[in-house]
Chains A and B, each alone.
Chain A
């Protein structure tokens, strides 16, 4: 068996807690091979050092800080039910407002068309009606659409506040 193959076996035995037994099995070879003997010596020191190096408990300040910051990150990463309502309610209102705005625009356009028909061509009247309905819808949509964004911003600020 090559020394490299032995090193692998010795390493695995050391990891599994059987270094002494493995070294005993390989005693004859280890007495005549300095490279393998040094592998055993190194692993003995590594394992001894690792066993002796027990982790210290965290300082109370660090422990508290880790808990607090991780908890805050967790809260910021999850959508709360309140948050969903804050988004959903204005969106629903915006969706309802849209057909109302279009309908209102259409009625106004009909009224103006009746009044302005003798003076303005029909194509211009149609264009004006579309423009009016679209601007009313955009205004209302923009207004209600900004509410979820404001809610999102407020929610994030609240969660990230110390």
Chain B
């Protein structure tokens, strides 16, 4: 089986078969990641499409010395972060307009497992490292590449995220 990086080299020269192979290999996982990140299926669908549009448009700029998976999740994470910022701004504006008490930001998480709901409530940078580490199985080096931050930052975010999550198990830091 051709590696992701080989497929990206082919994609950079316009190979549509390579693009289709990469989508078939990674799209379901990226979709699950975006779904956990955003908590909304409709938003995850949109973000997934935008992620692959960017992959297709930026294929020529991909450095084949890099890991494709880190690059791909970096694109998805950036899009999810922008989406999260837009949503927060929109909700704040709606709250300012409304005379009703503000709705809980993650009401749709009520039917999820307790742990998943707690992950969803983490600040976005911490949520990203938890999802990449445990759900996508990324090493610290891969996460650092994906998030474009130093490894030390990844470690400290993970440490802080686990600290917050641990609060739910009776003992906090």
Residues of chain A at the chain B interface (Cβ within 8 Å)? 7-8, 11, 15, 34-35, 37-39, 41-43, 45-47, 49-50, 53, 55-58, 62-63, 65-67, 69-71, 73-75, 77-78
Contacts and interface: CB of A to CB of B under 8 A. Distances in A.
Contacts of B159: 7-8
A127 B19 CA distance: 60
Interface in B54-93: 55-57, 59-60
B49 A65 contact: yes
Given A42-B165, A53-B32, A70 B170 contact: no
Given A34-B171, A69-B52, A73-B53, A50 B135 contact: yes
Contacts of A77: 56-57, 59-60
Given A11-B162, A55-B29, A70-B56, A78 B134 contact: no
Contacts of B166: 35, 38-39, 42
Interface in B6-25: 11, 14, 16, 19-20, 23
Contacts of A37: 171
B106 interface: no
Nearest first, the 4 A-B pairs at minimum CB distance are: A55-B32, A74-B56, A73-B56, A38-B169
A46 B115 contact: yes
Contacts of B158: 11
B38 to A, nearest CB: 15
Nearest to A41: B169
A64 B139 CA distance: 31
Contacts of A7: 159, 162
A70 B169 contact: no
B104 to A, nearest CB: 22
Contacts of B11: 74
Given A67-B20, A70-B52, A74-B14, A53 B171 contact: no
7 contacts: A11-B162, A34-B171, A56-B31, A58-B27, A58-B31, A74-B11, A78-B14
B162 A39 contact: yes
